[in-house]
């Protein structure tokens, strides 16, 4: 069967599912995006959700390897994959947890996340993006910044994850902009200057955050602050607070920001304003490169 | 009619409505609590909601003064009552906005809130609690701390509101504990020591907030942090951040905390740990004293 995948790469996060059907030469046969993330699924829903996307491509009489990273490996996910502990290399297929499936055409393995003992921290999925950074930039030593709902700052050296810290900035932003009194003050607009000024403000005065946030509401009521400006300032205050807290990670370091658009671009701009020249890399490319590296590492050690 | 009120005091907030029927000697005939706060009401709903509680006590052929403070005076409320501007005394009845009612037995006036130009800030309702502090403690000069969804720190002197700052701490706490990933990590339990340690931690390292919050989740996953401990630490981190930002308000000042239980007690404990001896005062008593002062001030100037 000409189009049968050699293996399938899966990034299964909290809110999304991304699948790549791979050929034997490392090329992508086809890819799928889906909203069937962990938060929508019970344990029994994972196999049907996957078969929905790839079932038509699975040949009978054999099983296709499926390598999964992300929250599908959490306790509330498809099957719990134990964490590797820092300092460590990003986990490879040989460390993955086998999942029993009803369909014999699937051979599913879930990659471990990485944990850190003190300060306590965990990642699931980002370790595969780190593996992708190593695959694409073999000489990179420094700090990888992975913006998102829970932004991670990861110190890497010699192909290992040395230490990391997770900041809940993205989730706090979403809660404040959609569910707090500030929802009346913001819209989807943006203002680069307002963002930059608020980053600088929060970096120098992080303790005032909860008051500076209310100022956005009050300036809207009293001085007609525009919703676009308020939106950019809300983001700037929260990212500025994060940069103040993450300063040991980026000060004087080579930083690579994963992602080149949207919020990742905002992080890059904020770091540039602090005199850094952050590298940028495409998030999807890095993720697939990392899953490929994890899959290939296994083949090299077992073939 | 023996039980007819001389006037009616109303504290109409975002989520609650409190009404006191007053006799001519300043005594309370009866009181009502209701969940009919501004967030549940359209403009046309206010008069029926009030009549529901007090209609039976209103005599025919005359109109009873009703003095309202709080969010009912906001643009989205019953009728907009313009703000007084700092520095100013808490507004009195003579500055209140008259509301036309369908029922002739009501003579409703809504007290203004107070605004501050720079940094932009607003209050609605707290100004009446400040009036109550002045009524109960005529010699008090210092800082009034009013914990709540939006905690206010108010510098008062010689019977005036000099300046104030609002911190969204309570709203952030509610969003994080109910709607973020931390909802899996906390319950309703409490731990005084964990609270105190987290206040101290955030006071000395406020910039790390967004990472310290995720640590609660990770410690739960990795080290079995108890939900009660996580709950107290979540509160402590946020109040510690606020105390760091509000330091100019409380450092070396006489502070009066409005409220003696729940979150107000937590603020008092946190301030005491910083070497202060905050005064405490009952929130309801202060509110009614403030509305009474506003009502009485009018009578003195017009009689």
Span A92-119, pLDDT tens digits: 999 999 999 999 999 999 999 999 999 9
Q: Which residues of chain A have pLDDT under 50?
A: 1, 301-303
Q: Can you tell me the mean pLDDT for B251-255? A: 97
Determine the distance in angstroms separating the CA of A5 from the nearest CA of chain B, rounded to an integer.
36
On the question of pLDDT at B162 being above 60, the answer is yes
A73 contact partners, CB below 8 Å, separation of at least 6? A79, A80, A81, A97, A110, A111, A112, A113, A124
Mutant choice from A73, A185, A214 vs B, greatest count of B C-beta within 10 A: A214
- Residue B302: band (very low, low, confident or very high) from pLDDT cuts 50, 70, 90: very low
Side-chain half-sphere exposure of B286, counting CA atoms within 13 A: 23
ipTM of the complex: 0.95
Using CB atoms, which residue from B207, B214, B223 is nearest to A166?
B214
In this structure, what token pair is assigned to residue B145? 């701390």
A267 contact partners, CB below 8 Å, separation of at least 6? A145, A147, A151, A239, A257, A278
Q: Which of residues 50-79 of B touch A (CB under 8 A)?
A: 75
On the question of pLDDT at B132 being above 50, the answer is yes
Q: Can you tell me the mean pLDDT for B183-197? A: 97
Is residue A200 less than 8 Å (CB to CB) from chain B? no
Domains in chain B, please, with CATH? Answer: 7-124 (3.30.420.300), 166-281 (3.30.420.310)
How many A/B residue pairs have CB atoms within 8 Å? 134
Q: How far apart are the first and last CA of chain A?
A: 24
Q: Can you tell me the mean pLDDT for B73-79? A: 95
Q: Which of B77, B11, B68, B80 is nearest to B39 (CA)?
A: B77
Q: What is the pLDDT of residue B261?
A: 86
Interface contact flag, B210 A244, Cβ < 8 Å: no
Chain B residue with Cα closest to A169? B210
Mutant choice from A114, A167, A200, A211 vs B, greatest count of B C-beta within 10 A: A211
Backbone angle region of A281, left / alpha / beta, with phi > 0 → left and psi within -120 to 50 → alpha? beta
Determine the distance in angstroms separating the CA of A238 from the nearest CA of chain B, rounded to an integer.
9
């Amino acid at each position: 069967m000409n189009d049968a995948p050699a293996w399938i790469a899966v990034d299964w996060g909290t809110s999304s599912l991304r699948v790549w059907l791979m050929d034997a030469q490392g090329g992508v046969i086809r890819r799928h995006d889906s909203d069937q993330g962990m938060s929508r699924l019970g344990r029994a829903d994972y196999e049907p959700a996957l078969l929905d996307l790839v079932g038509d491509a699975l040949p009978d009489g054999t099983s296709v390897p499926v390598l999964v990273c992300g929250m599908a490996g959490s306790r509330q996910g498809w099957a719990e994959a134990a964490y590797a502990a820092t300092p460590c290399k990003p986990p490879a297929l040989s460390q993955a947890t086998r999942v029993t499936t009803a369909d014999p055409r699937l051979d599913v393995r879930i990659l471990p996340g990485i944990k850190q003992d003190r300060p306590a921290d965990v990642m699931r999925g980002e370790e595969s993006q780190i593996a992708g950074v190593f695959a694409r930039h073999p000489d990179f030593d420094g700090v990888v910044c992975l913006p998102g709902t829970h932004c991670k700052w990861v110190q890497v050296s010699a192909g290992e994850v040395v230490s990391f810290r997770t900041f809940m900035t993205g989730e706090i932003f979403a809660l404040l902009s959609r569910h707090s009194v500030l929802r009346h003050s913001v819209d989807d607009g943006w203002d680069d200057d307002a963002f930059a000024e608020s980053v600088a403000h929060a970096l120098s005065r992080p303790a005032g955050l909860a008051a500076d946030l209310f100022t956005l509401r009050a300036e809207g009521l009293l001085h007609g602050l525009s919703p676009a400006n308020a939106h950019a300032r809300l983001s700037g205050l929260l990212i500025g607070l994060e940069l103040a807290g993450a300063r040991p990670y980026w000060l004087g370091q080579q930083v690579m920001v994963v992602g080149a658009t949207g919020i990742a671009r905002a992080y890059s701009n904020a770091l540039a304003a602090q005199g850094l020249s952050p590298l940028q890399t495409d998030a999807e490319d890095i993720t697939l490169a990392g899953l490929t590296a994890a899959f290939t590492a296994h083949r090299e050690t077992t073939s």
